[in-house]
Structure 1
């Protein structure tokens, strides 16, 4: 049942990143290198382990060998031998063994990242065929194959912006201290492979690897306290300091070269291919620890980071720009600086310079240095003001910056000075000097300003409703909460059009309402360039948006933050078009947005609500509908994709994520969340950061200029029917089966995840409720731990089976071959099935689930098998990951398997003990009779609060559980 579009779409798909692959020779080389590097790091680690724990090292060797045997044979007897070995471990040995396998998995991730970076670099050098398309190749394809005019490509690229938003979503289980050490190991591995080393240098590099591995082993990998939002912000900012800030101008230079290859000039100075945002310290949705004061702290912290980074760059420029030739305009600027310097000989301006810097550059004969010395001094003054604001929490940050004439309020003046230097060099013929380091600094200042990354604010819609209700009730206007949508809209529009204040100064407020109002008041005191969007989670109606606009007006937020509704559940996705149409048809709001609107769509909660397949189709359709209604009102719509790292939360390769969006919905702008472990994967290393920027630039450009054709109506109808069937199948289990919640809480460690301290936010939005109030992250994370990944595949099998039974197999195969959206959906599903292991699921069920619920477990395992068979039938695969393009992924999973199996067994053992204690079993009955820990073992067992306060045995079990969770999490990373 081939589509009339199939030939053209098929040829296009054959050139897509998902189908590009390195040569078979390169694949074999990389597979060999991965095995070689994995062996090197494993043997180095085991050597370090043996130094510190010689007797236990033999047990680890045996456990690893048994795990390998079981993974290869799938024999019950092999599993029983492995299980017995692990059960025989003492509590202190369990901690060390679980930590050993967790470390081995993290080190394996290092080898994969190192190999990937090398492949990407080789692809850019033309040594192998790229696995994904670079921007340069996209430009060549657009010109040579699709007939795009180079000047049109240039215009599109100049106006394109990708906004990457770092969030605090707690899916990064590894401590920052450990990530740093793994990063150093990765750099050493790169030197080992990429540099011509002498024998001495090679030995020194191997010693460095050993040193870092030992440092990681001797570091406590468990977070002993919950991080604060400020901690999360600081961790997020490290990626700017280490890779992003320095990497961006390097990437933009490559874009200039790519443009030159198609006969176009470099990017203009005001082009902004990337901008960056953050949620750490601004996302208060269900997080009581994000207060107005928290938001103030992280804004100041980000500004201090931006100012410090820019100061370093300006100082480098001062050394470089030693020339004396300059335009009259620059000479006049230098004269004014000199005059200010002389006039301030007895004043504070000179004191700042004397106390902070030498004055060697204070010469009118070196005008660039003189002008830049003033920039440097003003940046230092700006830092002084910001530090003063940190010390005095009652200070209005905006007013403090504006009150000091030597401090920079924003980057406007600074950019003007840098541009003056640039124009002077260009005018005097020093073109190459202008387009060297100075150009890089101009681009950094343009992108990162004095804010580094703009902070979004996020809050749940019900909180704004409660605040509005407090106001209307106090004023005697009635209960806002009880009004219908029409009455709410009428009230809000009248107030927005009115001039009188609405917010009474003596308004009695609950703590929740005080937090909402306090947040808006704090926003009015912060520099506007540090603030991004105001995200309304769980948006339902147009009034949700107008309420936030009105609260900003009443609290003096000027300029107002753009308000972005976040549509999350399936019902909200279906209502989104109506809500936005109502907003656009409201004259006051239409005038307010000035032709631009942003809408966020939530992948995580929609998946939790309806299952992955139904959510994916709901998200696809809502993007089309929102784009259509925006076009009707001539509004430029930017879609904000709230993706997680895992497939269950919308995760997947960045380029495929962009290119699989509905045609015509990406028009030069896109916002995407970068969450948890994805930050490290995409920006933890310079090569990865470069590659990430390349992928997004390439994909957005192609999606803008050469979107795929609309899928045929028959495909859409088939997809809609499958979405309906899969949603019903998913909800029949998750929502309607009375056994499910108990089964879920028994078989997974969902109730124990809070022990990990990986995020500042509680696991639930509210303390009551179950699946509905549980956040999507622990929902997915818990199923990942038992390697079942139920939220991703549940319901899909029924949908595929129904279509196959109806004689539509050929149609599904046509859709898979020729429709990017459908292909990516099934490919990601195949990858998840490859990471799952029903044998492990059965082990958890036998040990942790009451016998009367085993029937549900059997049903789910049967559905799992049926879904896998249906999936392989549609994909025409004989087994999972059987295609050439997935051979490397298959090897990655095979190498990980022996490391993760022992962690699953240890986790089950720990869950049994801790749940027995919670059920009232005395600890003494659970402690092994021969448990007599040495002083050294007691020190190991007593690091956690339970070990110190109650009994070392309990502390040891808790630590082993946490380490197992972290290790399994590491095992599930990087394979997508």
Structure 2
């Protein structure tokens, strides 16, 4: 088997990477089967048969081939089902690694000039803007220097893989890439293949099911791992590459005080409907993040001490070094002993002033060590004010305090002619400090608007002013503005509050004790009115949050999006408020809940129009608007290829500043490996630069009118089905794993805000459940009927024109087309006949009819005879997408069959109370898994049936072996299908 591609192959385009992709898929499958045969020879034969049957069905599409697959899988014993499910789950994850390596190969070929880039990168954008668009290099430079992308990592529960497995798969990905990218001897090739085998075997022998729910602190540690292993090191490398591209255009480097990226987090700060996030939780994650930053800087500073050994320096640096050296020399013995005790790498004794750089760096190293010690004490003693403790110890509290001496060293090296030294590791460290600060990623706080209303209501009732919750919006605004402009304290100590209200206030008080640079924005979910914003501003003032966090309303539902411009206009019309925000207003728009509320097409258009109107309102009042995009990973939650998503935004809505969430499994996909991380930063930088300097043309009036009608028609159909069809919720719960998803232990947050129907279900499990069942309903429902209505009015040519020439409409339909290609009505029908009561079957027939109608009408607009037939320009960000979906299909189909069978077995077991079920597993590996301590891992069946993660947790009791086996099989299939359906876009 060939592991390298020739340069001539690379020049022929991305289609010629397919051979390598197929070879890699075959290689990893062979490695896995050899391991499976070693441990389970009989089972390996059955897995081989199932894979062959699945391949046959995926190729033939015949009912008879599908029934053969179902019959063979149905005959498996419960313990065999667990291992078969695990086998296909692992093979899918291994296949995904081949796609990632394939993408890296394409990226490498682009950088080497061996093929054209399927999407723009920063270097190509610089050249295009100056040579094609006719902008001067200085114009492009000024725009680039003023832009910032802030990526906010969230812990939304869509990353189904355990960190233990992710680490092992990372080894496989790295070694597989090495086979392609490095010239190797036969011995090296054998050793690399053995390393792959070892990692695959370790993954197979690892329990892939989380046996306990992660805490928010665990989620934060998981997020921080990407910084310590990838992001922290790649950011300065990427800035260096941009410097090189600028120099080729005759432009200076990026200014040292201008960073292209900032990073934020919701992990441990997102308390919207999550009772596990408390004030103490927020304090913990802030301290953990600061410890990660301090540890990273400590290593960098200690490394620089070996690099910067020179004695020539500027007078300013010399004066600082002499002052530090003199202070240390007065107590040289104690200083040396203390540094020895700390086990520094070197330079224990006070350093003479003749080595000024090392003197200053040594002092910085001591302060970083002290800062780390203070933070450890803050973790141990939760009553300590973090801000006060750092200040009292003279530790680093502010990033600029650390950057100043480094900037002094940089300026000194440049002044003495040592520019090359200045532009090496010292420049990288300066950029890391300016990018990550001392917080690594600033924590946003998110809380639902109703919780703030409850606190304000408690205050006004206590003061005898009436019930704030019952006041109209005008009275609320008048009261809040009066309090904000007055000096009288509003919240008397000892005021009676409910536990929930006390927790809200405790969070604000905790924020006042945390370092300001560890905190980002205060996000108000379900924001509807101007008073929602002013209430948070007032609560911050009353609890001593200084400086105050910027308050960001999050508009989520369709009605909230439509009302958002009026809400922001009410705020900005007030002189006091405009002065308070210093000319910048941030608004967050939610993609997940708006899609769940109105359907993907109506939500997409509402988001588009809302952005335009918000920008116009801000412009009217002379305020700069920053839009925060709450995108998820899947198309149903606003996900999609980065460059395409940004370039399809309305003109004038990004303007050099983009803030966007990076959720769940997308963190791994965009930052799991250094080359991938570099590419991610490149795509964001390029897209934001072009959005500012080469925005898309405004859509024609005819397009707008038709788009508005499409949105209205699709919303009507969507809501009539989802919210207006009797028994629809029951059909959804029966035909999907929605009620069982909560037992996945993939996030700390409940799947529902409260008990109820679809209205109370969170958007993520709503979309996740339909994805598992292969219908993908939230993405496409309503679109087919809207298009059909437009066709009947003679608008087909206009729709085709819109698709060809309007980036927003192009990307919207392309993403829907991609999801439709992954949908499978036959598998959805199998879930139905396996799980759903016959009286509800007519609903499934209707949904599958709507799916077929949508597929047909989409193909008419995009002018294709089959889905993904010939990649469009926007689909070229994932070359050979149709082939990648085909390669995955034989792995996914058996998991769908196993999932439906497991759901049926579990539900029957619960209904019958376990009567008549005899099961005694014989496989030692399965016996060991099923005998895990149930108190650490299991929900009692009654508790899960009552609502899964959103239901009340029952006392832990041992499970029947059959129930435990089916439960494990179900959890594995959920993870495996998630891997198979991950956003190939």
| TM-score strictly above 0.5 | yes
- Range that drifts further, 517-526 or 320-329: 320-329
Q: What residue number does 1:956 align with?
A: 965
Matched, 1:813 2:800: yes
User: Superposition pairs for residues 721-870 of structure 1, below 5 Å?
Assistant: 721-766=709-754, 768-870=755-857
Q: What residue number does 2:885 align with?
A: 893
Rounded Cα–Cα distance in structure 2 between residues aligned with 1:483 and 1:58: 70
Rounded Cα–Cα distance in structure 1 between residues aligned with 2:136 and 2:601: 38
Rounded Cα–Cα distance in structure 2 between residues aligned with 1:912 and 1:84: 15
Q: Write the deviation string for residues 289-333 of structure 1: whole angstroms up to 9, x where unpaired.
A: 000000000000000000011111111111111111111211111
User: Superposition pairs for residues 117-136 of structure 1, below 5 Å?
Assistant: 117-136=104-123
* Aligned-pair CA distance for 1:924: 3.7
Q: What residue number does 1:94 align with?
A: 81
| Count of residue pairs brought into register by the alignment | 950
Q: Are the counterparts in 2 of residues 764 and 773 from structure 1 also a CA contact under 8 Å?
A: yes
Counterpart pick for 1:555 among 536, 543, 550:
543
* Aligned-pair CA distance for 1:932: 5.4
Q: What residue number does 2:687 align with?
A: 699
Q: Write the deviation string for residues 420-440 of structure 1: whole angstroms up to 9, x where unpaired.
A: 100110010001111111111
Q: Are the counterparts in 2 of residues 756 and 962 from structure 1 also a CA contact under 8 Å?
A: yes
Matched, 1:381 2:370: yes
Q: What residue number does 1:395 align with?
A: 384
**SS in structure 1 of the partner of residue 661 of structure 2:** strand
Q: Are the counterparts in 1 of residues 651 and 698 from structure 2 also a CA contact under 8 Å?
A: yes
Q: Are the counterparts in 2 of residues 913 and 926 from structure 1 also a CA contact under 8 Å?
A: no
Q: Write the deviation string for residues 664-709 of structure 1: whole angstroms up to 9, x where unpaired.
A: 1111101000000000000001111001100110101110111112
* Aligned-pair CA distance for 1:942: 2.7
**SS in structure 2 of the partner of residue 532 of structure 1:** strand
Q: Write the deviation string for residues 620-658 of structure 1: whole angstroms up to 9, x where unpaired.
A: 000000000000011111100000000000000011111
Rounded Cα–Cα distance in structure 1 between residues aligned with 2:327 and 2:221: 37
Cα distance change of structure 1 residues 458 and 344 upon mapping to structure 2, 3 Å threshold = farther
Cα distance change of structure 1 residues 23 and 829 upon mapping to structure 2, 3 Å threshold = farther
Instruction: Provide the TM-score with structure 2 as the length reference.
Output: 0.95
Q: What residue number does 2:982 align with?
A: 973
Q: Are the counterparts in 2 of residues 341 and 350 from structure 1 also a CA contact under 8 Å?
A: no
Q: Write the deviation string for residues 926-969 of structure 1: whole angstroms up to 9, x where unpaired.
A: 446xx553555422333373598132111110000000000000
Counterpart pick for 2:251 among 264, 283, 287:
264
Unaligned runs of 5+ in 1: 1-21
Rounded Cα–Cα distance in structure 1 between residues aligned with 2:480 and 2:707: 39
**SS in structure 1 of the partner of residue 585 of structure 2:** strand
Q: What residue number does 1:4 align with?
A: none
Rounded Cα–Cα distance in structure 1 between residues aligned with 2:112 and 2:532: 51
Counterpart pick for 1:362 among 351, 359, 364:
351
Q: What residue number does 1:276 align with?
A: 263
Rounded Cα–Cα distance in structure 2 between residues aligned with 1:343 and 1:307: 28
Instruction: Provide the TM-score with structure 1 as the length reference.
Output: 0.96
**SS in structure 1 of the partner of residue 48 of structure 2:** helix
Rounded Cα–Cα distance in structure 2 between residues aligned with 1:924 and 1:84: 25
Q: Are the counterparts in 2 of residues 163 and 277 from structure 1 also a CA contact under 8 Å?
A: yes
- Range that drifts further, 485-494 or 315-324: 315-324
* Aligned-pair CA distance for 1:914: 1.3
**SS in structure 2 of the partner of residue 772 of structure 1:** helix
Rounded Cα–Cα distance in structure 2 between residues aligned with 1:934 and 1:33: 37
Q: Write the deviation string for residues 789-833 of structure 1: whole angstroms up to 9, x where unpaired.
A: 000000001110011111111100000000000000000000000
* Aligned-pair CA distance for 1:349: 9.4
Q: What residue number does 2:922 align with?
A: 933
**SS in structure 2 of the partner of residue 552 of structure 1:** helix
Q: Are the counterparts in 2 of residues 344 and 350 from structure 1 also a CA contact under 8 Å?
A: no
* Aligned-pair CA distance for 1:334: 1.1
Rounded Cα–Cα distance in structure 2 between residues aligned with 1:311 and 1:662: 43
* Aligned-pair CA distance for 1:733: 0.4
**SS in structure 1 of the partner of residue 622 of structure 2:** coil
Cα distance change of structure 1 residues 80 and 944 upon mapping to structure 2, 3 Å threshold = farther
- Over aligned residues, Cα RMSD in angstroms? 1.4
Q: Are the counterparts in 2 of residues 121 and 687 from structure 1 also a CA contact under 8 Å?
A: no
Cα distance change of structure 1 residues 470 and 348 upon mapping to structure 2, 3 Å threshold = farther
Cα distance change of structure 1 residues 424 and 94 upon mapping to structure 2, 3 Å threshold = same
Q: Are the counterparts in 2 of residues 109 and 974 from structure 1 also a CA contact under 8 Å?
A: no
* Aligned-pair CA distance for 1:393: 0.5
Rounded Cα–Cα distance in structure 1 between residues aligned with 2:318 and 2:694: 48
Rounded Cα–Cα distance in structure 1 between residues aligned with 2:56 and 2:259: 54
Rounded Cα–Cα distance in structure 1 between residues aligned with 2:30 and 2:137: 53
Q: What residue number does 2:198 align with?
A: 211
Q: What residue number does 2:949 align with?
A: none
Rounded Cα–Cα distance in structure 2 between residues aligned with 1:710 and 1:328: 56
Counterpart pick for 2:621 among 612, 633, 643:
633
* Aligned-pair CA distance for 1:884: 4.2
Q: Write the deviation string for residues 99-136 of structure 1: whole angstroms up to 9, x where unpaired.
A: 00000000001110011011112111211111110111
Rounded Cα–Cα distance in structure 2 between residues aligned with 1:308 and 1:943: 37
Q: What residue number does 1:708 align with?
A: 696
* Aligned-pair CA distance for 1:339: 1.5
**SS in structure 1 of the partner of residue 699 of structure 2:** coil
Q: Are the counterparts in 2 of residues 230 and 294 from structure 1 also a CA contact under 8 Å?
A: yes
Q: What residue number does 1:11 align with?
A: none
Q: What residue number does 2:900 align with?
A: 908
Q: Are the counterparts in 2 of residues 352 and 381 from structure 1 also a CA contact under 8 Å?
A: no
Q: Write the deviation string for residues 696-737 of structure 1: whole angstroms up to 9, x where unpaired.
A: 101011101111121110000000000000000000001111
* Aligned-pair CA distance for 1:360: 5.4
Counterpart pick for 2:296 among 309, 323, 327:
309
Q: Are the counterparts in 2 of residues 243 and 689 from structure 1 also a CA contact under 8 Å?
A: yes
Rounded Cα–Cα distance in structure 1 between residues aligned with 2:620 and 2:726: 46
Q: Are the counterparts in 2 of residues 794 and 864 from structure 1 also a CA contact under 8 Å?
A: yes
Q: Write the deviation string for residues 264-306 of structure 1: whole angstroms up to 9, x where unpaired.
A: 1100000111000000000000000000000000000000000
Cα distance change of structure 1 residues 306 and 935 upon mapping to structure 2, 3 Å threshold = closer
Matched, 1:597 2:585: yes
Q: Are the counterparts in 2 of residues 361 and 369 from structure 1 also a CA contact under 8 Å?
A: no
* Aligned-pair CA distance for 1:342: 2.1
Cα distance change of structure 1 residues 969 and 774 upon mapping to structure 2, 3 Å threshold = same
Rounded Cα–Cα distance in structure 2 between residues aligned with 1:819 and 1:344: 71
**SS in structure 2 of the partner of residue 641 of structure 1:** strand
Q: Are the counterparts in 2 of residues 165 and 276 from structure 1 also a CA contact under 8 Å?
A: yes
Q: Are the counterparts in 1 of residues 262 and 435 from structure 2 also a CA contact under 8 Å?
A: yes
Unaligned runs of 5+ in 2: 1-8, 941-956
User: Superposition pairs for residues 107-146 of structure 1, below 5 Å?
Assistant: 107-146=94-133
Cα distance change of structure 1 residues 348 and 535 upon mapping to structure 2, 3 Å threshold = farther
Q: What residue number does 2:4 align with?
A: none
Matched, 1:672 2:660: yes
Matched, 1:65 2:52: yes
Rounded Cα–Cα distance in structure 1 between residues aligned with 2:836 and 2:380: 53
Q: What residue number does 1:323 align with?
A: 310
Q: What residue number does 2:914 align with?
A: 923
Rounded Cα–Cα distance in structure 2 between residues aligned with 1:125 and 1:973: 29
Q: What residue number does 1:943 align with?
A: 932
Q: What residue number does 1:421 align with?
A: 409
**SS in structure 2 of the partner of residue 673 of structure 1:** strand
Q: Write the deviation string for residues 569-599 of structure 1: whole angstroms up to 9, x where unpaired.
A: 0000010001000000111111100000100
* Aligned-pair CA distance for 1:86: 1.0
Rounded Cα–Cα distance in structure 1 between residues aligned with 2:616 and 2:416: 51
Q: What residue number does 1:8 align with?
A: none
Q: Are the counterparts in 2 of residues 379 and 408 from structure 1 also a CA contact under 8 Å?
A: yes
Q: What residue number does 2:954 align with?
A: none
Q: What residue number does 1:480 align with?
A: 468
Q: Are the counterparts in 1 of residues 773 and 828 from structure 2 also a CA contact under 8 Å?
A: yes
* Aligned-pair CA distance for 1:344: 3.9
